[in-house]
A and B are shown apart, each in its own frame.
Chain A
Amino acid sequence: MGGPPNKKQKREEHRNEAKAEGELPKKKFYRQRAHANPFSDHALTYPASPSQMDWTPHYPSFVATKSEVKPESDAADEATTPRLDRQLEIADIGCGFGGLLFALAPKYPDSLILGLEIRTSVTEYVEQKILAMRAQAKNPSVQPNITKLGPLDEDTKPPKSELNEDTKPPPTNPDPSPTAVSPSQVPGSYTNISVLRANTMKFLPNLFPPTSLSKIFLCFPDPHFKTRKHKARIVSPGLVSEYAYVMKPGGVAYTITDVEDLHLWMCSAFRGSGGLFEEVPGDVWEEREGEDGLDGGGKGMGEAWEAEVREDVRIMREETEEGKKVTRNGGQKFVGVWRRVADPPWP
């Protein structure tokens, strides 16, 4: 059901017009129906296997130099596929307009983060926005709409200067807005995030090798209210196995929804995973008084790990587009945090 023709026209005009460097795309031109059928054959491109996926266009700042490429990759396709200097670590499945991505980027400047979205035009928006944000971070003198800059990190980590040799701190910031931190200070300069159009319900194992991801976010998924449609939910008993397969032991899967029924369904799917995931109880990740920020670090179950989980949950609650919408609407947010446990021993 396309709208009136001039709407379509405006969209095309907006997308085709030459944009100034760092100009953010306008969301209204990229909106798309919120539902996609995960069972149908979308015109998707995906690699036959993870070793054939070329991530270098997604993360140009993290391309491995020749010497870093492991020599043992002997298969033909592996030898020819360009490599990154590290593995992707965080996946936001169903990233929508990418709110979480932009919030996570400066938190984990050394981790590669990927947003996955099935809707073409929404993916395109996120692509454009990432490019714009990278440009802004690279060259802070072009900041057409600095106030719109998404998550601003209060952390004062220095930017990864070795990633962008061109990035030199500007001599003077022309008009530094008092609240905004100069994007040149955004750790990672958004070079560590990217977006891919994909149907993860079908092709997750094509994209990620086993035990590679340390975090998966499943934020405000399509609730698929009808019982008949429950198989189309992004968390289901069958898919929990696949999430477990691509995750490292110790990795964390996060779920959030404003639909209680869906929350209970997702919980039962993770709980029924036969010991592949264990629930991280709410007292670990519920926000505590007088604590803000963290400095990443520990992957164990210690204090640092708990603080990191807590921060992730906070970001997921507050920074996702849908999360903000639910807050505006006064809705409830149901959070689930699941820790990947090692495969059980054979019986």
Chain B
Amino acid sequence: MQADVASQIIHHPFQCIASLEQGGGQFLLAACGAKLLAYSIAGRVIASKWCSGTTDSIAETSNGHANGSEERPAKKQKTDNKKSSPASRIISIRVSPDQSHVVVVTEDKVVHVLNVSGVGDLTELSQRAMPKRPCAVRVMPNSSTILIGDKFGDVYSLPLIVSEPQERPAQPEAEVAKSLGEPALFKPSATPLTVHTKRNLRALESQKKQKIVTPRKEPLAFEHKLLLGHVSMLTDMVHATRQVDGKIRRYILTADRDEHIRVSRGPPQSHVIEGYCLAHTDFVSKICLIPRTDLLVSGGGNDWLGVWDWLRCELLAKVDLRKAISHLLPSIDERIAVSGMWVVPVAAQTDQWTLCVACEKLPALIFIDCSALEHDSPADAAVTVYETDEAPVLDVAYYGGNAGHVLIALDDRRPDGCRLRAVQVTGTRDDSKTRSKLDISEFNTLNAPLRQLSASNGVVEDDAVLDGFLYTTANLRKRGGWDEDNEA
């Protein structure tokens, strides 16, 4: 879609966005490569910048909106050596429900917690490196616990605020001292009686003589709990609560690459599985709860969205996505990969919501009225396709509560491209049949400043590299034909 642009300058889009309300003002958080901008919507200015690279972040925050230093982190991250390039691209932003903190995850598996001041200044409070790449990040409603689901299928909970940053528990240190003191011999778990082949026995003999060269990888040096585990890459996670007999029940819903949606109890009973929502025949990449209902919508590599009663693990309907977007697909057998789902408010309506669905590389955002999903035949829910002028949708956020301003981050790499767009869902209008469609209009007072913001924050990038970074959902699809005979 950027074919018409000469290959000279390619601008980095905002790969993740979020909104935040602080000190009575609305802020847009937008991640551009390794940088995070806090943009004051009322003031139309960048309130602060933060960069995941430690050295750069100091320079960036002190320089405020200096545009001259823009290209430094970009250059650095091209060198593939981890140590010399501290700046790592942002893959996820989550705002705590109390709006005071931002959890930023970078490609190098580090979870950063930032504090947000009343004027939108971002200050980094902590960095925690996870063992595997975090794929799903949520902040619990109490704003004190982070849930992280990773590529290995594990879900951890971490306190949002690291209580005593530098103080380490005494135990690991003692162990380190011990291992330094005596040149410990490697103690294999197998004994001559457990292994059967000659080769194994020989290997065991040599293992016994071996000294421990590499000390065991230290377990995570910060407070964390393993809540649950899938034997599959985790793709998305949501947290839900229900009130039963005056008591709050917490749930964690997790989706994985092997078609599962698991409903578990929330901590401290996350090891209890309440059920599985099973029907997908390809990966599940996104799950989304519909407010005020027991409905869960799931999307992934199938041509449809699943509408579930998640408490009963019952599939209520499949909403046909292919039918809705077939005119936008480059070919008839092009496969669909749902890359994002969000619930956004309908403007000027109390508690009326609409579901937004993005498909990877598809230059459109699909809107589905949530109230239609609640009705008897959700499969017939009207789908409104909002086309985004050739630029695929990367992320969606909204601000202003019920006012319903929806912000869409687009992959527009042209120098004068529109990388952020504000729209409003202005309620439903009745279609000729009883189906209702949504009206979506551009929100003009904001679009001009957003265009400016996007124009001034471009980063030179390589097209293919950028594609590889932004579009990872379709890679979740299994490549058939592989079998154990190929396994060495």
Contact = CB atoms under 8 A, between A and B. Distances in A.
Contacts of A39: 231-232
A152 interface: no
Interface in A1-55: 1, 32-33, 36-43, 48-50
Nearest to A262: B189
A237 interface: yes
B273 interface: yes
A32 B262 CA distance: 33
A95 to B, nearest CB: 16
Contact of B271 (A41, A240, A260, A346): A240
B484 A238 contact: no
A343 interface: yes
Interface in A45-82: 48-50
Interface stretch (B37-45, B293-301, B475-483): B475-483
A205 B258 CA distance: 11
B189 A202 contact: no
Interface in B243-291: 244, 247, 249, 258-260, 262, 264-265, 268-269, 271-273, 275-276, 278-281
Interface in A221-254: 223, 225, 227-228, 231, 236-242, 244-245
A49 B279 contact: yes
A205 B278 contact: yes
A85 to B, nearest CB: 24
B193 A238 contact: no
Contacts of B332: none
A238 B228 contact: yes
Interface string A207-225: 0001000000000000101
A206 B153 contact: no
Nearest to B281: A48
A329 interface: yes
Interface in A186-204: 201-203
B484 A49 contact: no
A94 B483 CA distance: 18
Interface in A74-125: 118-120
Contact of A36 (B188, B189, B479, B487): B487
Nearest to B244: A346
A245 B268 CA distance: 17
B119 to A, nearest CB: 40
Given A42-B483, A245-B273, A274-B269, A259 B231 contact: no
A332 B483 CA distance: 34
B449 interface: no
Contact of B190 (A206, A245, A259): A259
A43 B271 contact: no
A236 B26 CA distance: 45
Given A223-B190, A227-B217, A237 B278 contact: no
Given A43-B480, A43-B482, A261 B189 contact: yes
A259 B189 contact: yes
A236 B262 CA distance: 17
Contacts of B226: 237-238
A258 interface: yes
> Is chain A's binding surface mostly helix, strand, loop or mixed?
loop
Interface in B298-312: none
A347 interface: yes
Contacts of B236: none
A110 to B, nearest CB: 28
A260 B194 CA distance: 9
A344 interface: yes
A331 B195 CA distance: 9
Contacts of A258: 193-194
A36 B482 CA distance: 13
A276 interface: yes
A48 B229 CA distance: 20
A240 B226 CA distance: 13
B207 to A, nearest CB: 9
With most chain A CB atoms within 10 A of its CB, the pick from B194, B264, B487 is: B194
B189 to A, nearest CB: 4
A325 interface: yes
B405 interface: no
Contacts of B216: 227
A332 B193 contact: yes
Contacts of B229: 231, 236-239, 241
A329 B244 CA distance: 57
A330 interface: yes
A32 B484 CA distance: 10
Interface string A269-301: 000011010000000000000000000000000
Interface string B182-219: 00000011110110100000000000000000001100
Contacts of B101: none
A48 B278 contact: yes
Contacts of A244: 271-273
Given A41-B479, A330-B193, A238 B154 contact: yes
A10 B225 CA distance: 52
B436 to A, nearest CB: 28
A261 B488 CA distance: 26
A114 B168 CA distance: 49
Contacts of A43: 480-483
A205 B272 CA distance: 14
Interface string B429-464: 000000000000000000000000000000000000
Interface string A307-347: 00000000000000000011001111000000000011011
A104 B194 CA distance: 25
Contacts of B217: 227-228
Contact of A120 (B271, B273, B480, B483): B483
A11 B296 CA distance: 50
A40 B482 CA distance: 9
B273 A242 contact: yes
A206 B279 CA distance: 10
B239 interface: no
A238 to B, nearest CB: 2
Nearest to A32: B484
12 contacts: A37-B487, A40-B487, A43-B481, A43-B483, A202-B232, A238-B228, A238-B231, A241-B264, A241-B271, A274-B269, A325-B196, A331-B194
Interface of B: 152-154, 188-191, 193-194, 196, 216-217, 226, 228-232, 244, 247, 249, 258-260, 262, 264-265, 268-269, 271-273, 275-276, 278-281, 478-485, 487-488
Interface of A: 1, 32-33, 36-43, 48-50, 118-120, 201-203, 205-206, 210, 223, 225, 227-228, 231, 236-242, 244-245, 258-262, 273-274, 276, 325-326, 329-332, 343-344, 346-347
Given A206-B259, A347-B269, 18 more contacts: A41-B478, A43-B481, A48-B278, A203-B258, A206-B278, A223-B189, A223-B194, A231-B229, A236-B229, A237-B229, A241-B273, A244-B272, A258-B193, A259-B194, A276-B272, A329-B196, A344-B272, A347-B268
